[in-house]
Structure 1
Amino acid sequence: MLIVQKYGGSSLATTEKIRFVAEKIVARKQAGNQLIVIVSAMGKTTDSLINLAKEIHSSPPDREMDLLLSTGELVSVALLCMAVENLGESAEGMTGYFAGIQTDNFHTKACIQQIEPSRVIKELNNGNIVIIAGFQGISSENTITTLGRGGSDLTAIAIASAVKADLCETYTDVEGIFTADPKIVPEAKLIPEISYNELLEMASTGAKVMQSRAVEFAKRYDVPFAVKSTFGKEGGTMVKEISLKEGADVSSVSLDEKQAKITILKVPDTPGIAAKIFSALGKENINVDVIVQNISKENFTDISFTVNIVEVEKTMKIAKAITKELNAAEVIHDTEIAKVSIIGIGMMNHPGVAGRMFETLAKENINIKMISTSEIKISCVVSKSDGTKALKSLHKEFIQ
C-alpha cells in the first residue's frame, strides 16, 4: 500500500517528538507499505521567522519572505530523515522543488500548477521512505514559493493525488475533527466522518483543522483523507464525498477571531463600482469574505467587507487608493470583530435553522453586525468580545 502522511508542526516540535514520529513511520514501512511523508516546520518556527523578518523590515518583500519561511520545513526534513535512518531504514529528503511541485508566481500564497512526481516514485521504488518539505514549491521563474499558512496540508493532498496513493493521513495534536474547538468548548464531540463541503466551510470559517485550499483540492480531485492524532488514539475523522446526511441539521460550529472589517463610506451608487473595488483586491490575491452594501441614500452607499486580519495593511492601502479614485468619503477598518458560523449538510433539509441561530445570539445579548449564508453554512460577524460566548451558546443549542 502506498501511504502519504503529513505531520504538522506540533507533532514535530521537539527532537523527542521527531523520534516518536520516526518510529511510527518505520513501523508502517516494515509492515510492507511505501511511505511518503510531508512535514511542517517544527513548533512555532514559522512564527519566529516572521518575527525575525519584521525586526529587519516593517513590511518584508513577499519573495524574500518565501525564501526565509521555506527554511523551516527543511529543518524538519533533515532531522526526521536522520531519525528514520537511526532506526535502520533509508530515507530520502526533498524540498518542494525536488518533489516536482510547480506553482504560479504569487509569493506567500502560490497555487500549485502541476506536480511531476517521477523523482519521488523513483526513490520509493528504491525502497526509500520519501520525506518532503511541505508548504513550498518552485515558480515558473525558478523562485521558491510558499502555499499560504497551513500549506503543508495542500502539499500532502496534492502529492497523494499525483502519485495515486492508496491512503492519505494528516496527523496533528488532536484526535480528529470536532464539532467545535475543544480548547474553547470542552463538550465538543469527535466527528467520525465528514464531507468535503462541510470541512471546507469549517476551514474557511476559522476552524483550525485544515487549510481550506487543501480541502478544496481534495474535493476537486476526490482524494479521501483521514485526520488523526499523532500521539493519541487510533480512529480520527474520515473526510470524503457525502452528498446528503440524515439526522442533525448542524454538524459543527466554528469561530474565527482573525477577521477585520473594512468599510468604504459614501461610495457613489452607480453600476460597476463594486466590480472596481473587488477586482482591485482580487488582483492583489486578497480573499474577501463577507460583503454588505447598505441601502443607497442620495445616490451614495457604504460598502463593508471582511478580510483576514493579516491582510489589513495591504487591503487598507488598496482601499484608500480606490476611495480617492471614486471620490468616496473615507475608508475605515475594525479589527475587534469575530465570525461565528454553524455548518452542516443537514441544513439543506431543515428549515428554520437561521431563526434558531439568531434567537440564540439574541438571548445572549449578542449584536449581529454582518450575515453571510450558503446552502450548508450561516455566518454572523459579531464583536470579538462576544465571540467565545457566541460559539458556546450555538454549540449548546445545536449539538449538545
Structure 2
Amino acid sequence: MPVLVMKFGGTSVANIDRIRRAAKRVGVEVAKGYDVIVIVSAMAGKTNELVGWVSEISPLYDAREYDAVVSSGENVTAGLMALVLQEMDIPARSWQGWQVPLKTNSAHSSARIEEIPTDNINAKFSEGMKVAVVAGFQGLSPEGRITTLGRGGSDTTAVAFAAAFDAERCDIYTDVDGVYTTDPRIASKARKLDRIAFEEMLELASLGAKVLQTRSVELAMRYNVKLRVLSSFEEMDDNAGTLVCAEEDIMESKVVNGIAYSRDEAKMTLISVADRPGIAAAIFGPLAEAGVNVDMIIQNIAEEGRTDMTFSCPVDQVMRADKALSAAKAAGSIDYSDLVADKDVAKVSAVGIGMRSQSGVAAKMFKTLSDEGINIKVIATSEIKISVLIDRKYMELAVQALHDAFELEKA
C-alpha cells in the first residue's frame, strides 16, 4: 500500500475532542487505501509545563534527564490517538522513538536523526496494521538513552519518516490553513499560497516564519519530500493548504513571494578591532563555540589598522556573545575597545526565487522603506532573499509597506 505521513501539532491534539477530530482525518486517508504513519506532538502547553518543572528543580539540569521528562508528552498523545483509532475499528498501535527505533546522535535536547530503520513498522503493516502512531520529537542515542530533537522537532520527525518510507506526501496539520505571503495578523491583505518552493520556505522559516521548523524543510528539500501545510480545524479538501515542493513543480513564481520578520534581534558592534588576517575567525570562532547564532555580518573600512565589526544575533543570545568575546579578549586572541549591543532592532526580509532572474528588487525594497522614513541599519542578501535590520518600532510598518509594494495580495 502507498504510505502517507500525517503530523498533528500540539493545538491539533490539545484535548480528547481534538484527538478524535484528527483521528477522523486519519480514517479518511485509510479509507483511500493508504498505510498511514501519524506523527504526534504533545498536547498544547504540555511541553512548556514539563520544561518548567525541570527548570524549577535546577537551571543546570542533566540534559539526559531533561529529555526523559520532556519527551513524555508525546508518548501520552500517541497512546491516546491509537486508542481513539482502535475505537473507530482502525487497526492502530502507538510507537515510541526507541521502539521504531529512530536513531539519533548523542546531542541531548538538540539531537540529529541518523537513521530510521523501516523493518519494524513495515512488518506490522504487512500483518494488517493500518496506522502507526509515532511519538514525534524523540529518538534513541547510541548509548540507549532517549533524546529529543529540539523545539518543533515533530515536524522534522514527520519529514524524516516520509523520506525513510518513501511516502507519497507528508501532511503537516497545524492551527493555520497554509503558508501566507506574510503574517496575516500584521498585513490584512496577506494571501495564502497554493504552492511554494522548498528554497523559499527554507528562507522564510529561517527568517522568522513559524509555520514549519527549518530543519524539517531542509530534510524535505534534500529528499524531495512533498510537504502539505494545512489546518486541522478546516473542512477536509484535497486542494486545501499549501504544497511545499520542488521549484520545477511550480509553473511560474512571483519575483517576491513572501515577507518574513523576526522581532527578537540584536545588533552587536565590536569597536576598533585590529584589522589583520584571521581576525574574523578569531571573532566568530568563539561565538560559534558558545552557540551564538550569527546572521548578518558587516566589516567597516579599516583606518590606521583598526576597523569596526558588526553582526546580528537573537536578542536572548547577547549575554552569551558578550561573555564569549570578553573571554577571547582576555585570552589575547582579539583586541577591541568596546562592544556595543542594540537590543531594539528587528529583521525584515523579502524572499522569492524570482529574484534570480529579475533585477531591481533591492532598489524597490530600499526606496519603499525610505518613503516610510525607515532607516536601514544592516543589509544582508542571498540569491533569493534580501534582509534588513531596522528599529523594532517600525517593523510592522515595514512589513505592510513591502507587502503592498510587491503587490503580494495578487495571485
Farther-moved stretch of structure 1 (103-112 vs 3-12): 103-112
1:103 aligned residue: 104
1:175 aligned residue: 177
Task: Provide the C-alpha distance between the structure 2 equivalents of 1:356 and 1:328, rounded to a whole number of angstroms.
Answer: 37
1:279 aligned residue: 285
Cα distance per residue 1:114-142 (max 9 Å; x no partner): 22222222222232211111112222233
Q: Map residues 31-46 of structure 1 onto 2, 5 A cutoff.
A: 31-46=32-47
Q: 1:286: how far off? A: 4.1
Cα distance per residue 1:267-289 (max 9 Å; x no partner): 22221121133233334554322
2:30 aligned residue: 29
Q: Map residues 82-97 of structure 1 onto 2, 5 A cutoff.
A: 82-97=83-98
Task: Provide the C-alpha distance between the structure 2 equivalents of 1:179 and 1:210, rounded to a whole number of angstroms.
Answer: 14
Cα distance per residue 1:179-233 (max 9 Å; x no partner): 1111222211111111111101110110111111111111111111211111214
1:389 aligned residue: 397
Contact 2:4 2:34 in 1 (8 A): yes
Letter aligned with residue 149 of structure 1: R
Farther-moved stretch of structure 1 (166-175 vs 107-116): 107-116
Query: What is the RMSD computed on CA atoms of the aligned residues?
Result: 2.1
Q: 1:98: how far off? A: 1.9
Which of 304, 322, 325 pairs up with 1:316?
322
Letter aligned with residue 239 of structure 1: V
Task: Provide the C-alpha distance between the structure 2 equivalents of 1:338 and 1:220, rounded to a whole number of angstroms.
Answer: 30
1:209 aligned residue: 211
Residue correspondences, number:
400
Percent identical among aligned pairs is 39
Task: Provide the C-alpha distance between the structure 2 equivalents of 1:317 and 1:304, rounded to a whole number of angstroms.
Answer: 16
Q: 1:291: how far off? A: 1.5
CA 1:381–1:15: 2 relative to 1, 3 Å: same
1:72 aligned residue: 73
Q: Give unmatched runs, 5+ long, in structure 2.
A: none
2:345 aligned residue: 337
1:328 aligned residue: 336
1:236 aligned residue: 241
Q: What SS does the aligned partner of 2:70 have?
A: helix
Contact 1:245 1:346 in 2 (8 A): no
Task: Provide the C-alpha distance between the structure 1 equivalents of 2:21 and 2:329, rounded to a whole number of angstroms.
Answer: 54
Farther-moved stretch of structure 1 (177-186 vs 56-65): 56-65
Task: Provide the C-alpha distance between the structure 2 equivalents of 1:27 and 1:190, rounded to a whole number of angstroms.
Answer: 25
Q: 1:169: how far off? A: 0.9
Contact 1:4 1:38 in 2 (8 A): yes
Cα distance per residue 1:61-85 (max 9 Å; x no partner): 5444333321222222122122222
2:19 aligned residue: 18
Farther-moved stretch of structure 1 (303-312 vs 200-209): 303-312
CA 1:74–1:370: 2 relative to 1, 3 Å: same
Q: 1:159: how far off? A: 0.7
Q: 1:247: how far off? A: 5.5
Task: Provide the C-alpha distance between the structure 2 equivalents of 1:337 and 1:57, rounded to a whole number of angstroms.
Answer: 32
Q: Map residues 37-186 of structure 1 onto 2, 5 A cutoff.
A: 37-128=38-129, 129-186=131-188
Task: Provide the C-alpha distance between the structure 2 equivalents of 1:79 and 1:315, rounded to a whole number of angstroms.
Answer: 43
Q: What SS does the aligned partner of 2:297 have?
A: strand
Q: 1:4: how far off? A: 0.5
Task: Provide the C-alpha distance between the structure 2 equivalents of 1:182 and 1:344, rounded to a whole number of angstroms.
Answer: 18
Provide the TM-score with structure 2 as the length reference: 0.91
Q: 1:106: how far off? A: 2.2
Which of 245, 249, 255 pairs up with 2:261?
255
Provide the TM-score with structure 1 as the length reference: 0.93
Contact 1:192 1:238 in 2 (8 A): yes
Q: 1:95: how far off? A: 1.8
CA 1:180–1:163: 2 relative to 1, 3 Å: same
Task: Provide the C-alpha distance between the structure 2 equivalents of 1:62 and 1:310, rounded to a whole number of angstroms.
Answer: 20
